[in-house]
Amino acid sequence: MGQPSNLLLKLSRQLFTEKRDRDAFVEALSAPQPFPTALVWLQPRPEPLPFAIAPPLPWQPAWVDRLSGDQRPGQHPLHQAGAYYCLDTASVFSASVFSAIKDRPERASSPPLTSVLDFCAAPGGKSLLAWKALAPDHLWCNEVIRKRVKILIANLKRCGLTEALVFNLDPQIWAERLPRTAAVVVVDAPCSGQSLLAKGDRALGCFHPVTIKKNASRQKRILASAAQTVVEGGYLAYMTCTFSPEENEQVVAWLLKKFPQFEAIAVPILANYASALAAFPCYRLWPQSGLGAGSFTALLHNRADAPKSLPTPIDFDFLTAQGMAIYRSTPPL
């Protein structure tokens, strides 16, 4: 293990007041440890399970297992058969904000959860988590980088998502041409990727102020489009896999100021993970937790009155004719 960079040390001082927390954070990023993989089950679990599993966490959905030790679920025939999708537990953590959508008492008066739009979807982990957690009538998966669409479609197909539509649009196009269309918009934003270091991956320049600033600007651009795409009474979930407050709490604070109809809402099952860096509810999983590489997540509610009539559903054929929709997993009935 080399010496931690000055920029990493600076970030640790920005994040933590206690020296022991700073040291643990720097250690987790400088000397990566393996994290157990999580499985999202898309088919019923076989009995007996072909993997040894770790005890469930309080925020772990019933349809997720965390494996114990070093196992290779990606090479098991059940994986190829689409029985499960493998991801970092930090992704499951971020997607836990969906639980607060289901549990909301005022849900009865909110728009029906007909549509979920994943704005930054490839390779598809959050789309699958949203699908399992929210069971929407429509799942729209958007990926702006054309060459990443292939892996997204392959994963949706393998996992048997029979209703998903895939788009290859800039978020701004959604905002301009399809405003107020989705009950839930998920923005798992491109970011500086600092948590990659905790997994032993490279993330060149991830602590550099220019990288962080560039990412924060892009995140704000995406979120501004996302905010316009959420129907009144709907939700916007924002998440990253990086640690800089400039890309996390500060981006959400910017959104709340620019779009005052949005309110950050509490996610009860994540209460123990509340960020100390914001006055509004938002949550962080740290790499030193040993659970996953780390992430940030927040759930925003559009408090504007729900419309009397629901927005016009997306017309797939119309969009296809315009070259906007590129994949439908099943033909229309």
Q: Binding residue for ligand SAM (CB under 6 A) from 11, 97, 120, 197?
A: 120
171 or 281: whose CB is closer to ligand SAM?
171
C-beta closer to ligand SAM: residue 123 or 294: 123
Q: Which of 218, 326, 327, 329 binds ligand SAM (CB under 6 A)?
A: 218
Q: Is 245 in the site for ligand SAM (CB under 6 A)?
A: no
The pairs formed by 52-55 with CB atoms below 8 angstroms and a separation of 24 or more are: none
In degrees, rounded to 5, the angle at the alpha carbon of residue 7 between the alpha carbons of residues 6 and 13 is 90
188 near ligand SAM, rule: CB under 6 A: yes
Residue tagged 């959508």 (tokens): 101
Specify whether the CB–CB gap between 291 and 93 falls below 8 A: yes
Q: Figure out which of the listed residues 133, 134, 144, 156 binds ligand SAM, where binding follows CB under 6 A.
A: 144
Contact with ligand SAM (CB under 6 A) among 4, 36, 61, 124: 124
- When asked if residue 143 is in the footprint of ligand SAM (CB under 6 A), the reply is yes
Q: Is 132 in the site for ligand SAM (CB under 6 A)?
A: no
Asked if 125 touches ligand SAM (CB under 6 A), the answer is yes
Comparison of 111 and 118: residue with beta carbon closer to ligand SAM = 118
92 lies in the binding site for ligand SAM (CB under 6 A): no
Among 123, 136, 233, 245, binds ligand SAM (CB under 6 A): 123
- 126 makes contact with ligand SAM (CB under 6 A): yes
Write the CB contacts of 211 (distance below 8 Å, at least 6 apart in sequence).
192, 205
Based on the shown chain and the rule CB under 6 A, indicate whether residue 136 belongs to the binding site for ligand SAM. Answer: no
CB of 85 or CB of 262, closer to ligand SAM:
85
Q: Which residues bind ligand SAM (CB under 6 A)?
A: 91, 119-126, 143-145, 148, 171, 188, 190, 218, 222
